Chain A
């Protein structure tokens, strides 16, 4: 056993079943969050293939224009359309957060379940590594890794994964330890079902669902974190657009063109809001009875 189990299984939503999507849609804040999120995803998808203006081509004659019909969010210091920049950056901001959480989820799930079910030396080794990763605050660890690897978008993602995976491994481990003792697992063992089928059929889906739920709850924070690192110049490198990086660029011209901040800040705000609304609704729906 490890010294401390910070993430206990009983704090994780329990009553999860196939009615979840419908319940989420019925929940007022869940529906609002889903609608905002879908709109942002649509925006990101469109931004991948089409933007009103070319996002990366400077047009100095058009620099720092106020919002107008042609440029709803104005243009930046080199005359690039802000709306196009934000749409182009959407898939990086959202995609990166999803990518990091997906990777963290997969690594955590595999490492944690392996540790929990194998026990013994495997458990000790995996969990000691996780403990090391967890002793440092996530931000500090991410800065340290970025310092080693150098700034850059891919490096930022790697740094965030290294900073975060251990929490999910911890959670997956305690959930799988708990699942191993569940009556339905014992019943399957008694029925003579082989171990691998019990793991794949009984234990892993339940653990994955709950760890996945927790990862979903973390989406808002992750979008904020990625934008934050890019804002500091440690993530996306120019001329590529990303909301945090756009915010950093716009900040320089705050006195001349304050409206430039509206689009990137607004989109970051909306995406964090949507993720948190859905997260809250998920918590309400999946663990009834808790205030």
Chain B
């Protein structure tokens, strides 16, 4: 069988002379799923764009690139247009960004036929959407993209990419905007088409689970490739081992002694907009010193509201919140945020952000140099001893910033850490490190309340996971 995609020595050069992708060689057989995985900045998206001819103007692609038997190096716009859709389909990362918000979903799917001048009926589109798992597609496809969930809209993108049954689909992080369960079902939908798939992702776990072959990208080079089983059992390159480290189990929990709960919320409800919007109906939560409690649920279920209530920056509309004495002093609860770079003061060197909680009134007064020493020690504790403490947040990677934020949250040994989606901006190795640091904090007696849409991460990290749905807590899913 001829491969549907052959890359030999594929090199991409940007107008400035930078080469984000160098000497990539791989081929994809019909029907197979080949995954490219790597940390951020490894050149994943550049490859994706080069494979569908969507690279920026002035970018040069050299080497050999054959799609469906056609040589695409130096192909002009009209050749690419005839190949896209027929020979190769593209699924983008963010389905909302891929759709015009002013047009109904069915138009986006129909576009895949129309741009090649082919007629298509609404029935065909509805049928395609149904087979990909969109329920009552005929009625829903007239709605606008913003009323669809991410998982559904991504299926619509897949339907559009696979409209003309191309032998090859390129999917650039197709599931990173989705939670774990939805990601799994969307990937299944992607594989249900008969096309070969080039799956580009930062999530090594997902890739090892769903791809037939995996290539590891590092610094723009394909450093290793093989079947998931081979990579798992005998990783050769250091980068592979680094990525696989994210799958290692976390250090075991020393069993926390049963303590009096620090925070207890019972039947808490919250409303916004003068009572018109109800964010929480009846949420229960209990957390004690040294415990890790995870909160999961789909977007819009009230996770963040619950967190703000726990932090005390919002008041509930009903129900009771009991805080122990230890939680009432200022600085007892410290937050960790979804946006690691934004959670550090942009114009301060990172060490100053780290030691800020130590400078709150009521803390023992210490000299500037003492604070700095504490901050350096905290940096070393989160594994950033080699980073310049004078660096500004914008000079660090996102994962490093989140570890700095964790250093800040833990430096004053707060009674509780509240983390809102702390890993959603991070790649797998950073996620693992953040989980480990949160574990360490809990071992030192800090209560940790984590909200995330990533249930794998939560179940690995937390002692107990609470599921929120439509503003109500469902049964605890793990542990006591």
Contact = CB atoms under 8 A, between A and B. Distances in A.
B334 A191 contact: yes
A194 B331 CA distance: 11
B356 interface: yes
Given A17-B395, A183-B335, A183-B337, A192 B343 contact: no
A213 to B, nearest CB: 13
Contacts of B412: 191
Interface residues of B, number: 31
B299 interface: no
A192 B360 contact: yes
A17 B347 contact: yes
Contacts of B337: 183, 186-187
A192 B346 contact: no
A202 interface: yes
A184 B348 CA distance: 11
Most chain B CB within a 10 A radius of its CB, from A19, A184, A188, A201: A184
Most chain B CB within a 10 A radius of its CB, from A19, A190, A194, A206: A190
B300 interface: no
Most chain A CB within a 10 A radius of its CB, from B337, B356, B412: B356
Contact of A186 (B335, B346, B347): B335
Given A17-B395, A187-B335, A191-B412, A182 B362 contact: no
Interface string B379-417: 000000000000010110000000001001100100000
Most chain A CB within a 10 A radius of its CB, from B346, B359, B395: B346
B344 interface: yes
B331 A184 contact: no
A182 B335 contact: no
Contacts of B345: 184, 201-202
A89 B342 CA distance: 46
A21 interface: no
A54 interface: no
Interface string B406-447: 001100100000000000000000000000000000000000
B452 to A, nearest CB: 16
A184 B361 contact: no
Interface in A201-259: 201-202, 205-206, 209
A72 B469 CA distance: 81
A176 to B, nearest CB: 14
A187 B334 contact: yes
B164 interface: no
B357 interface: yes
A175 to B, nearest CB: 12
A206 B335 contact: no
Contacts of A22: none
A184 B335 contact: no
A284 to B, nearest CB: 13
B330 interface: yes
Contacts of A194: 361
Nearest to B359: A193
Interface in A154-210: 182-184, 186-194, 201-202, 205-206, 209
A281 B357 CA distance: 38
B408 A187 contact: yes
User: In the complex, which range does the number of interface residues on chain A fall in?
Assistant: 20 to 34
B21 to A, nearest CB: 19
A191 B330 contact: yes
Contacts of B163: none
Contacts of B157: none
Contacts of A184: 342-346, 353
B99 interface: no
Nearest to B333: A190
Interface string B6-23: 000000000000000000
B277 interface: no
A192 B342 contact: no
B55 to A, nearest CB: 15
A209 B360 contact: no
Interface in B298-339: 311, 313, 329-331, 333-335, 337, 339
Contacts of A202: 345
A208 to B, nearest CB: 10
Contact of A206 (B333, B347, B395): B347
B343 A187 contact: yes
Given A191-B330, A192-B330, A202-B345, A186 B313 contact: yes
Nearest to A185: B345
A188 B337 CA distance: 13
Given A191-B334, A193-B356, A205-B347, A183 B342 contact: yes
Contacts of A188: 356
Contact of B361 (A18, A19, A192): A192
Contacts of A15: 394
A221 to B, nearest CB: 27
A193 B359 CA distance: 8
A17 B356 contact: no
In order of increasing CB-CB distance, the 8 nearest A-B pairs are A192-B330, A183-B343, A192-B360, A192-B331, A183-B337, A191-B357, A17-B392, A184-B345
Interface of B: 311, 313, 329-331, 333-335, 337, 339, 342-348, 353, 356-357, 359-362, 392, 394-395, 405, 408-409, 412
28 contacts: A15-B394, A16-B346, A17-B347, A17-B395, A19-B395, A182-B343, A183-B337, A183-B342, A184-B343, A184-B344, A184-B353, A187-B356, A187-B405, A187-B408, A187-B409, A188-B356, A189-B313, A190-B313, A191-B330, A191-B331, A192-B329, A192-B330, A192-B361, A192-B362, A202-B345, A205-B347, A206-B346, A206-B347
Interface of A: 15-19, 182-184, 186-194, 201-202, 205-206, 209
Given A17-B394, A184-B342, A192-B360, 13 more contacts: A16-B346, A16-B347, A17-B392, A17-B395, A182-B343, A183-B337, A184-B345, A187-B343, A188-B356, A190-B311, A191-B360, A191-B412, A192-B361
